[in-house]
Amino acid sequence: MGTQSSGATYTVPRRSSSLSDADVRYLQQSGLKLVCDYRSDVEIVHKPDRTMDGIRNENIPVFKEVPSQIDTGPLVASGHLGALGKPGAYMKMVNQEYVTHYNGAFAQVLEFAQHPENLPLVQHCSSGKDRTGFGSAMLLFALGVPEETVMVDFMLSKTYTEAASQKTLESLKPKLKDEESITIAAAIYDVRKEYLQAALDEINSKYGSVDRYLEQALGLTKEKRENLRALLLE
């Protein structure tokens, strides 16, 4: 999971599936009400979240099924990732896809965050840096946080997910058959400003501004935005 935080919505640096008993007790004592899970059914079956008494879990997948243009499975099986383009190109494309085709889950989190009975809430995906990073960024923008600060917050995921990402990359390396593929894979597991920037550029290209995207694509009207700020800001 990621590390972005704001008011009564936040993420924690572990997947709920890997929480220890002490972690569960901590979250229950924190007053946490809702866990928003961005993962697909396949991901959840592989690593289901732990059940925590008194905490509701909502599955709101960004991708109900992995789209063909995003599915790296066949390429990994072949051992060659060159078809994904230069290192970093794939993650830029994924972030653009959040904006153009897959924003329903992010709209749902913003809707959940507008109701006190859901707060505090947690949002998470598999690695906590991509879907969670984008969702956290949109929440911060909705609260009026400056872009520079949003980007700093986004990059915190690099610090908190780097060890896990490196471990995953090392396990993947034996399956890859050339240095180019290893470099591309390393970029996929990395956190880079250019990834979120690709999404912001797509937003500005299609909507003119983040504010218009929040309203037109994510359903965050002026009234809803004011309500959200009243709930989450001191």
Name the pLDDT band for 212 (thresholds 50, 70, 90).
Answer: very high
CA distance 209 to 221: 14
CA distance 202 to 199: 5
Position 213 scores a pLDDT of 98
Number of separate domains in the chain: 1
pLDDT at 223 over 90: yes
DSSP assignment of 80-107? --GGG-STTHHHHHHHHHHHHT--HHHH
* 117: three-class secondary structure by DSSP: helix
Position 16 scores a pLDDT of 58
Position 71 scores a pLDDT of 92
Question: What is the domain range of residue 196?
Answer: 5-232
**Which has the higher per-residue pLDDT, 67 or 170?**
170
pTM: 0.91
Q: Residue written as tokens 């936040």?
A: 10
CB 6 within 8 A of CB 140: yes
**Listed range (59-68, 106-115, 176-185) with the worst mean pLDDT:** 59-68
How do residues 20-63 score in pLDDT, each as one tens digit? 999 999 999 999 999 999 999 999 999 999 999 999 999 999 99
* 150: three-class secondary structure by DSSP: helix
How do residues 56-108 score in pLDDT, each as one tens digit? 999 999 998 888 889 999 999 999 999 999 999 999 999 999 999 999 999 99
How do residues 186-211 score in pLDDT, each as one tens digit? 999 999 999 999 999 999 999 999 99
How do residues 152-166 score in pLDDT, each as one tens digit? 999 999 999 999 999
Position 66 scores a pLDDT of 84
SS3 content of the chain, % helix, strand, coil (to 5): 60, 5, 35
CATH number (domain holding residue 205): 3.90.190.10
Q: What is the mean pLDDT of residues 132-150?
A: 98
Q: Residue written as tokens 């949003």?
A: 150
Tokens for 120? 């505090």
User: Nearest CA to 131 among 7, 8, 11?
Assistant: 11
pLDDT at 128 over 50: yes
| Cα angle for residues 54, 58, 63 (degrees, 5° grid) | 160
pLDDT at 10 over 80: no
Handedness of CA 132, 138, 140, 145 (dihedral sign): positive
